[in-house]
Amino acid sequence: MKKLLAVLLIGLLLIPSMAFAEKVKVRWFVGLGTGTREEQIEPQEKIVADFNKSQDEIELVLEIVPNAQAFDVLATQITAGNAPDIVGPVGIRGRDSFKGSWLDMQPLVDKMNYDLSDFDPALVDFYRVEDEGLLGLPFGIYPSFIFVNKDLFDEAGLPYPPQEFGAPYVDAEGNEKEWNMDTLKELALLLTVDKNGNDVTSADFDKENIAQFGFGIQWTDARGFGTFFGPGSLVDKDGNAQIPEVWAEGWKWLRDAMWKDYFHPNGPNGNSDYMAQGNWFQTGNIAMDFIHLWYAGCCMGEFKGTWDTAAVPSYKGKITAKMHADTFEIHKDSKNPEAAFKVLSHLVGPAAGDLLPVYGAMPARLSMQDEYFETFNESNFPGQEINWQVVKDSMAYPDVPSHEAWMPSFQETTNKYTEFFTKVLNEPEIDMDAEIAQLKEDLQKIFDAAK
């Protein structure tokens, strides 16, 4: 008996200490983006509880902070050296509000042989930031595309825009034209009609009494509108102010569209009751509207007609379909980055099917998209046939760098370009070259003060 007890004692001593070690704690901070609404809390808590029950290495701890306080709370935690391991879901602007805080995940992707094949490669690259690395994995996305009011096209006797990126527009006579900004403008002029039924090309067109517009970019800002013509940034690699050439060209195109050709709503008519104070497409009074997928799920309740999707046109041979996207970040000072990456992999992988409906986002994973759109169509547009392949294809053309990316003195810079864009939208008599030059000068002053 003594010999047996001795053997048992020795066996217990030889059991690896890990068997008695506490689980590695990984903190998940929610609040910088979505995830704080009351109906979202319980599903997230269930994800955490299920994960903790599923394995014995990691204890996942959920920290939910109201969105209004989340920025300050996270900033305080980081300053105090008490940063959470994982932050998200968070968009690009929220991420870049803490520029330089995030871990490059590429070494962990390589070390753990993480499979990226279920993502569009362009979407993976969307999360890469120069000099910072891979700051996230694709998770919840909201691609952009053209919303098309088919009833207005039918009334005008015009074929619909193409639903394949790079495909030409085929007019009523069967002639093919490159689907670019010029062709979009041609259509928009014919689809902008006054109260007497005259389109812009008619000598009798009444610009003071427009009944419907041909095209618009709804709910965007100067950076977002500029990105319709190509990606760019207001700050160069050396931290100096710049105005991307394609953005300046795009802003001037918009000026003509609003105040000369009248096919795009300007500030006053775009904010009128007739155009639903900015929610244009759901009124049925605009033929084409460029906006993100989230619009189809949130804001088309008053739309009474028939609609479909169309591809984004090119500019100077390049297509840019700006992207809104949420993901999860790992803080660079995480004491347990490998454990944090395992949790993050779970959130964007096995748990994504439960989390994405909570956040209302389209799955970035290719394998999940067919089921998502089947459910999305049935829930929001029962009985309608919408070509969702256009939305999927849009993933291949994201804006890199993002139109929501970092700038010095983020809020002050935002206020300055918002002031500029407000003038563009609302003042019919301004010198665009002078205003663009002034914006660059003003931004440079802000950037210099931030150095």
Q: Is 145 exposed, middle or buried (0-12, 13-18, 19+ CB in 10 A)?
A: buried
pLDDT value for 18: 43
pLDDT of residue 74: 98
211: amino acid identity, one letter = A
Q: Quick: pLDDT tens for 155-166.
A: 999 999 999 999
Tell me what the pLDDT averaged over the chain comes to. Answer: 95
For residue 378, report the phi and psi dihedrals to the nearest 5 degrees: -65, -35
Query: Is the pLDDT score of 9 beyond 60?
Result: no
Confidence check: pLDDT of 1 > 50: no
| Residue 5, number of CB atoms within 10 A of its CB | 9
Q: From 3.30.565.10, 3.40.190.10, 3.20.20.80, 3.30.420.610, which CATH number describes the 145-321+404-450 domain?
A: 3.40.190.10
Share of the chain above pLDDT 70, in %: 95
With a cut of 70, say whether residue 7 has pLDDT above it.
no
Closest CA to 294 of 136, 94, 91, 47: 91
Q: Is the pLDDT of residue 99 over 60?
A: yes
Task: Identify the pLDDT of residue 21.
Answer: 64
For 270-324, the pLDDT digits (tens) are: 999 999 999 999 999 999 999 999 999 999 988 999 999 999 999 999 999 999 9
Tell me the pLDDT band of 13, cut-offs 50, 70 and 90.
Answer: very low
Compute the average pLDDT of residues 155-180: 97
What does the pLDDT read at residue 22? 87
* pLDDT given at position 451: 85
Predicted pLDDT of residue 19: 45
* Residue 15, pLDDT above cutoff 50: no
State pLDDT tens for residues 391-444: 999 999 999 999 999 999 999 999 999 999 999 999 999 999 999 999 999 999
Please identify which residue in the block is written with the tokens 């300055």: 416
CATH superfamily, with its number, for domain 18-142+324-364: Periplasmic binding protein-like II (3.40.190.10)
Judged against a pLDDT cut of 80, whether residue 128 lies above it is answered with yes
Q: What is the pLDDT of residue 151?
A: 98
Size of the chain, expressed as the number of residues it contains: 451
pLDDT tens sequence across 211-270 = 999 999 999 999 999 999 999 999 999 999 999 999 999 999 999 999 999 999 999 999
What is the per-residue pLDDT for 371?
97
Q: Are 103 and 331 in contact (CB under 8 A)?
A: yes
Question: Does residue 449 surpass a pLDDT of 90?
Answer: yes
Outline where DSSP puts E strands in 54-149. Answer: 58-64, 86-90, 128-129, 133-134, 140-142, 144-149
pTM of the shown model: 0.93
Cβ neighbours of residue 9 closer than 8 Å, sequence gap 6 or more: none
Which residue ranges make up each domain of the chain?
Answer: 18-142+324-364, 145-321+404-450
Residues 6+ apart with CB under 8 A from 121: none
Encode burial over 361-399: b for 16+ CB neighbours within 10 A, e otherwise.
bbbbbeeebeebbeebbeeeeeeeebbbebbbbbbebbb
18-142+324-364 and 145-321+404-450 have identical folds: yes
Reported as a single tens digit per residue, the pLDDT across 38-92 is: 999 999 999 999 999 999 999 999 999 999 999 999 999 999 999 999 999 999 9
- What is the distance, to the nearest Å, from the Cα of residue 436 to the centroid of all Cα atoms in its chain? 26
